[in-house]
């Protein structure tokens, strides 16, 4: 097989990344592009155009996942596809490459495969998943909806007063939210799923290694902690008569942090969001809502942490914890990891096996029995989820090359079987 025919065009890839980064761009170089916001909708429309220019057919499903597809000229009805993809939405004041790198490198990889003329008979898909960051409620929404994994009534839940829920955003796009189940697909439609993503950590950048071969993705528990107190006048209520929800919440935050640290360094816990109600300088806080994000490669550790945290809350009158979502960690497919490594070896590219402390849509696929792999590329000093997020264009091109080569290797690998048929149109 002549893999040298698969040529990534770094200049075109760089232009796509720069253009995508303009949607929701902020003066400090970060982006404000929450899922299905105006900025995200514009980014999606632009990306659909780029997919069409590359010859992919483009459709949008009932929950706004965008599915670009390239069928070989001989047609591929009923043949499972090899899919790649990621997300266009970003965290608040986030970086330009989280999600975007996987979309643009995925598109460039498919272009390069198509133009290579290599005889693979296999449909290829490039998917833009809706709301990976959980801007509405819980993350990896689009991929979970695709496999019927939403929590009861999820599209009508929001993360708190003022933020939209998905049904509203879908309606705003002219979709009927009640039809969300039409997005469900059978796992048998997929032969494999591969996601390229920035590492969002410092390992590859600090070691100067261009490719990370992901072995597994963390398990994630997302809890909501509510603390009730008594609102009152900030001037006339003596300190000894107060039931201040925020003071109680402050005690919980430090106790939770201490408890998670005491469980060792294979678990992380973050209280990243807090809302104080009613929320005025002259009212004693009557209620506080906080989000607690717990992650570990070892699911039993999350359970242990939840137990410790429930104990802490039992000692605080008016405090309670509800679990918004619990995601199992996922193991990547050994055969796909080996094919990614083979692609690196053949191109003389160094790589490192590693796990992902970040969640991704790729974590949804393994439990569906779909062989799944992830390719990491370095990001500057590991910074992510902040305006300083950066990549080197050559790393994006290397990642796209390894992605393209691996897709072709999967298409030919007996284990995930494929048949040699017509070549792609040039
Ligand atoms: O939260 C995460 O790990 C991912 O960036 N959505
Ligand atoms: Mn992210
Ligand atoms: Mn991401």
Q: Which of 87, 94, 101, 133 to mutate to test ligand 1, by most ligand atoms within 8 A of the CB atom? A: 133
Structurally, the chain folds into a number of domains equal to 2
> Do both 194 and 231 map to the same domain?
no
String of DSSP letters for 124-183: EEEEEES-TT-SSSSSSHHHHHHTT-PPTTGGG--SSTTS--HHHHHHHTT--GGGGGGG
> Do both 270 and 298 map to the same domain?
yes
> Do both 115 and 257 map to the same domain?
no
> Do both 213 and 65 map to the same domain?
yes
Q: Which of 360, 362, 383 to mutate to test ligand 1, by most ligand atoms within 8 A of the CB atom? A: 360
> Do both 304 and 333 map to the same domain?
no
d(CA 23, CA 26): 9
Q: Hey, what's the torsion of the CAs at 235, 239, 242, 248, to 10 degrees?
A: 120
| Token output for 320 | 């309670």
> Do both 209 and 346 map to the same domain?
yes
Torsion sign over Cα 335, 338, 344, 345: negative
- Range in 289-293, 398-402, 421-425 with the lowest mean pLDDT: 421-425
d(CA 65, CA 127): 7
Q: Which of 97, 135, 139 to mutate to test ligand 1, by most ligand atoms within 8 A of the CB atom? A: 139
> Do both 129 and 252 map to the same domain?
no
In this predicted structure, the answer to whether residue 269 has a pLDDT above a threshold of 50 is yes
The model's pLDDT over 85-109, given as tens digits with 9 standing for 90+, comes to 999 999 999 999 999 999 999 999 9
d(CA 93, CA 28): 9
Q: What is the mean pLDDT of the chain?
A: 94
Point out the domain boundary residue: 327, 361, 376.
327
CATH number of the domain that 380 lies in? 3.40.630.10
Residues lining ligand 1, CB < 6 A? Answer: 132-133, 139, 358-359
> Do both 39 and 81 map to the same domain?
yes
Ligand 1, atom nearest to 218 Cα: 3
Which ligand is nearest to the Cα of residue 86, counting in written order? 3
CATH number of the domain that 318 lies in? 3.30.70.360
What is the reported pLDDT for 251? 98
Q: 321: part of which helix (H) or strand (E)? A: strand 319-327
How far away, in angstroms, is 272 Cα from ligand 2 center?
14
Cβ within 8 Å of residue 348, ≥6 positions away: none
The verdict on whether omega for the bond into residue 278 sits within 30 degrees of 0, i.e. cis, is: yes
Ligand 1, atom nearest to 293 Cα: 1
How far away, in angstroms, is 385 Cα from ligand 3 center?
9
Domain that holds residue 310: 220-327
pLDDT band at 421 (very low <50, low <70, confident <90, very high): very low
> Do both 40 and 117 map to the same domain?
yes
Q: What is the pTM of this model?
A: 0.91
* Alpha-carbon distance values, 189 to 83, 166, 334, 421 (Å): 10, 26, 21, 19
| Token output for 329 | 């960690």
> Do both 24 and 167 map to the same domain?
yes
Ligand 1, atom nearest to 134 Cα: 6
Q: What number is the average pLDDT over the span 37-65?
A: 98
Residue with tokens 């030919």: 412
Contact 121, 78 (CB under 8 A): no
- The protein residue whose alpha carbon is closest to atom 4 in ligand 1 is 359
> Do both 75 and 168 map to the same domain?
yes
Contact 128, 51 (CB under 8 A): no
The model's pLDDT over 310-332, given as tens digits with 9 standing for 90+, comes to 999 999 999 999 998 899 999 99
Residue with tokens 């942490």: 305
How far away, in angstroms, is 167 Cα from ligand 1 center?
22
How far away, in angstroms, is 99 Cα from ligand 1 center?
10
Find the DSSP H helices in 212-292: 245-262
The model's pLDDT over 213-259, given as tens digits with 9 standing for 90+, comes to 999 999 999 999 999 999 999 999 999 999 999 999 999 999 999 99
In this predicted structure, the answer to whether residue 419 has a pLDDT above a threshold of 60 is no
């Amino acid at each position: 097989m002549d893999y040298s025919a698969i040529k990534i065009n770094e200049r075109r890839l760089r232009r796509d990344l720069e253009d995508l980064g303009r949607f929701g761009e902020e003066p400090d170089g970060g982006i404000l592009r929450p899922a299905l916001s105006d900025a995200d909708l514009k980014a999606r429309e632009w990306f659909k155009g780029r997919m069409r220019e590359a010859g992919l057919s483009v459709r949008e499903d009932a929950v706004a996942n965008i599915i670009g597809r390239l069928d070989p000229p001989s047609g591929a009805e009923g043949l499972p596809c090899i899919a790649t993809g990621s997300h266009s939405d970003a965290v608040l004041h986030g970086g330009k490459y989280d999600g975007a790198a996987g979309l643009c490198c995925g598109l460039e990889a498919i272009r390069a495969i198509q133009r290579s003329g290599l005889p693979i008979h296999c449909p290829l898909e490039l998917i833009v998943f809706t709301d990976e960051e959980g801007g509405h409620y819980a993350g990896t929404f689009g991929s979970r909806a695709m496999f019927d994994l939403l929590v009861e009534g999820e599209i009508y839940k929001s993360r708190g007063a003022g933020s939209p829920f998905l049904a509203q955003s879908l309606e705003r796009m002219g979709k009927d939210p009640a039809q969300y189940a039409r997005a469900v697909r059978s796992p048998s439609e997929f032969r494999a799923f591969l996601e390229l993503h920035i590492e969002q950590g410092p390992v590859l950048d600090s070691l100067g290694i261009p490719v990370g071969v992901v072995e597994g993705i963390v398990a994630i528990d997302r809890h909501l902690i509510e603390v009730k107190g008594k609102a009152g006048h900030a001037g006339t209520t003596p300190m000894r008569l107060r039931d201040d929800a925020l003071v109680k919440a402050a005690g919980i935050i430090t106790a939770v942090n201490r408890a998670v640290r005491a469980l060792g360094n294979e678990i992380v816990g973050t209280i990243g969001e807090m809302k104080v109600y009613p929320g005025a300088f002259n009212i004693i806080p009557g209620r506080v809502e906080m989000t607690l994000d717990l992650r570990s490669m070892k699911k039993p550790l999350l359970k242990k942490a939840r137990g410790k945290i429930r104990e802490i809350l039992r000692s605080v009158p008016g405090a309670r914890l509800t679990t918004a979502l619990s995601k199992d960690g996922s193991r990547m497919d050994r055969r796909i990891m080996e094919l990614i490594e083979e692609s690196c070896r053949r191109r003389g590219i160094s790589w490192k096996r590693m796990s992902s402390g970040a969640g991704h849509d790729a974590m949804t696929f393994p439990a569906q029995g779909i062989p799944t792999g992830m390719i990491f590329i370095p990001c500057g000093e590991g910074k992510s989820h902040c305006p300083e997020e950066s990549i080197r264009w050559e790393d994006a091109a290397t990642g796209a090359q390894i992605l393209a080569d691996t897709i072709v290797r999967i298409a030919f690998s007996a284990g995930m079987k494929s048949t040699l048929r017509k070549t792609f149109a040039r």
